[in-house]
Amino acid sequence: MFDRGWNCFHDVLMNIDRASANAFQLVAVGANRLLRLLGEWQQGETSLHEELAAQLRILVRTGALPSGSRLPSERSLGTALGVSRNTVTKALDELRADGLLSSRQGDGTYVTVSRRPNASRGGDRLRSFLSEKMPDRIDLRSAALPGLPMVADEFNSVDSSRTRELVAGHGYIPAGLIELRHAIAGYYTDLGLPTTPEHILVTSGAQQALRLAAAVFVGPGSTVLVEEPTFRGAIESLRSLGATLVSVASGADGVDVDDLARKVAALSPALIVLQSTVHNPTGSVLDSFRRSRVASISVRHNVPVLDDATLADTIIDGERRPIPLAAGGDQIMTVGSVSKSFWGGLRVGWLRAHPDIVAELAAIKGGEDLGTSVLAQIVAAKLLGQIERARDERLTMLGERRRLALEAVAEHLPTWVPQVPLGGGSLWLRLPQPGATALVQRAERAGVRLLPGPTFSVDDRLDDFVRLSYANDPALTRLGIESIARTWNELGATDSA
């Protein structure tokens, strides 16, 4: 099952550079769903096929139509949209010329975001579309943080004798560099969860850890419980394994434990995937009572849990070092990373699991990528020794940016209800009524990008939510919020016209 293609739908890259996708998760998108996603695509400004093409490009670029999505046939799309098949063909031809779609004889049309947008006529059109409509883009989609200066310092002071020693060997270390495994074990032991290096598999980011761990328990048709909303990368990874995803409600207090208990009892899932400590997108942190309830549900029903705690070191409010959920038993695995605490560019993450699982996955990872970069691991090991300082720096920066973003929302979007995040770099906002997808499409035309709720939904719901990042420069975040408010008000005016 490991040679299946999968997309690295890492949150940082998501919707910014689909180019990293080198294989597709094949998902058919029905005509009705596409119709809903397209929203108000007819602006009456240019020809029908150009407007349809422009809106489809936005859907691909915002991730609403991820790589591998199979579009409905041209005939059925034309019927659903109430336009001629010829209009649809011309619109799709434009996206094919841009390298955003490809068609296979007898097998339909797929979203295929290529590594390098080709310099075709279509590519030129896309560029002129962007410069015309989005002179000044503000991107509030990615909650990825800039790296801490200490990352560069550590790179500059790498111990050369240790490097020479390592370079004298072959450098293929699938389970991870021993000093980093020790450092990660120490990180968990300090959090109150005794851990040895044998519990740790170093991975190329948390995203790889998620997929590798899930693949041990999940195959085609397996039922997996995931939070609604949840991190898009988890949805894509699980779908690429063929899992059937069933949503469990998740809100300001984290996963709804009663809903979880009901669904575990009713469905006997193969795996539960959740985020106990700083949830993406809601920013929630599970309290200790709910942690113990989740752990006992998993023990009682013998269901493994994959706890993605990638954002754990970005806590702003409350207990700064909660005891990991995995303290509740060996059946709970934890995903972690230095991406949010230090720098995503290191591409160092890990899985903490039972040593038997770690050994099994090390062999699989070896077959897949032969191991994570040793130089990045040397630096990550040194950095973990400064985790407390990194937590402080993240708290200071994120606390201030969150405050400013909440102020701007209260001022410009007073009817929107933010769920105040306890950590991380984004706001999860409830709109007074559904319409997030249409809003995001309009906002993009006005030069501001944010993510609609359905991005985080396994069932394509949550159209009354958006996620807005405050990880960027606060002045830009404020400008972005002001522009979104203008777009929202215009939409309201259109609706009531």
Ligand X SMILES: Cc1ncc(COP(=O)(O)O)c(C=O)c1O
Determine, following the binding rule CB under 6 A, whether residue 423 of this chain makes contact with ligand X. Answer: no
* 250 contacts ligand X (rule: CB under 6 A): no
Nearer to ligand X (CB atom), residue 108 or residue 147? 147
- Under DSSP, the state recorded for 285 is B
Q: Which stretch binds ligand X (CB under 6 A): 111-119, 204-212, 216-224, 397-405?
A: 204-212
CB of 95 to ligand X, least distance (A): 27
Which part of the chain contacts ligand X (CB under 6 A), choosing from 165-173, 205-213, 285-293, 407-415?
Answer: 205-213
Dihedral angle of Cα 12, 18, 22, 27, to the nearest 10 degrees: 110
Does residue 483 belong to the site contacting ligand X (CB under 6 A)?
Answer: no
- Nearest approach, Cβ of residue 8 and ligand X (Å): 8
Among 6, 10, 53, 184, binds ligand X (CB under 6 A): 10
Candidates 9-17, 34-42, 84-92, 294-302; binding stretch for ligand X (CB under 6 A): 9-17
CA dihedral 391, 372, 336, 21 (to 10 degrees): 110
Residue from the set 233, 322, 324, 454 that interacts with ligand X by CB under 6 A = 233
Q: Which of 392, 480, 487 is nearest to 142 (CA)?
A: 480
Considering only 122, 254, 324, 349, the residue that binds ligand X (CB under 6 A) is: 349
Q: Is 51 in the site for ligand X (CB under 6 A)?
A: no
Of 205, 324, 421, 447, the one binding ligand X by CB under 6 A: 205
Q: Tell whether residue 344 is a contact of ligand X (CB under 6 A).
A: yes
Token pair, residue 331, equals 């059946």
Q: Which of 9, 12, 64, 328 binds ligand X (CB under 6 A)?
A: 12
| First and final C-alpha spacing in the chain | 53
The answer to the question of residue 337 lying near ligand X (CB under 6 A) is: yes
Q: Is 274 in the site for ligand X (CB under 6 A)?
A: no
Closest by CA to 399, choosing from 456, 318, 476, 480, is: 318
DSSP 458: T
Q: Are 184 and 382 in contact (CB under 8 A)?
A: no
What are the DSSP calls for 112-158, one per residue?
A: ---SS---SHHHHHHHHHHHHH-SS-EE-S--PPPPPHHHHHHHHT-
Report whether the peptide linkage leading into residue 452 is cis, meaning its omega lies within 30 degrees of zero.
no
Is 11 a residue that touches ligand X (CB under 6 A)?
A: yes
Using the rule CB under 6 A, is 339 a contact of ligand X?
yes
Residues 458 and 460: their CA atoms lie apart, in Å, by: 6
Q: Is there a contact between 453 and 427 (Cβ–Cβ < 8 Å)?
A: no
Q: Given the complex with ligand X, which of 233 and 447 has the nearer CB atom? A: 233
Instruction: Measure the CA–CA gap between 245 and 251, rounded to whole angstroms.
Output: 18
Residue 206 contacts ligand X per CB under 6 A: yes
Q: Which stretch binds ligand X (CB under 6 A): 5-13, 23-31, 32-40, 316-324?
A: 5-13
Of 173, 295, 251, the closest CA to residue 418 belongs to 251
**75: how many CB neighbours lie within 10 A of its CB?**
12
Query: Toward ligand X, which CB reaches closer, 55 or 280?
Result: 280
- Span of 51-59, 70-78, 201-209, 437-445 interacting with ligand X by CB under 6 A: 201-209
Instruction: Count the Cβ atoms, other than its own, within 10 Å of residue 189.
Output: 12
Query: Min. distance of Cβ 406 from ligand X in angstroms?
Result: 20
Coil vs helix vs strand at 487: helix
Q: Which amino acid is at 232?
A: R
Q: Does 207 bind ligand X (CB under 6 A)?
A: yes
Taking CB under 6 A as the binding criterion, the range among 7-15, 21-29, 54-62, 145-153 that sits at the site for ligand X is: 7-15
Q: Does 98 bind ligand X (CB under 6 A)?
A: no
- Interface with ligand X, residue 217, by CB under 6 A: no
**CA–CA distance, 93 with 95 (Å, rounded to integer):** 5
303 vs 272: CA distance, rounded Å: 7
Residue 238: CA count within 13 A, CB half-sphere:
26
**Least distance from C-beta 339 to ligand X, angstroms?**
3
Residue 87 or 310: which CB sits closer to ligand X? 310
Question: 181, 324 in Cβ contact below 8 A?
Answer: no
Interface residues toward ligand X, by CB under 6 A:
10-12, 205-207, 231, 233, 275, 280, 308, 310-311, 337, 339, 344, 349
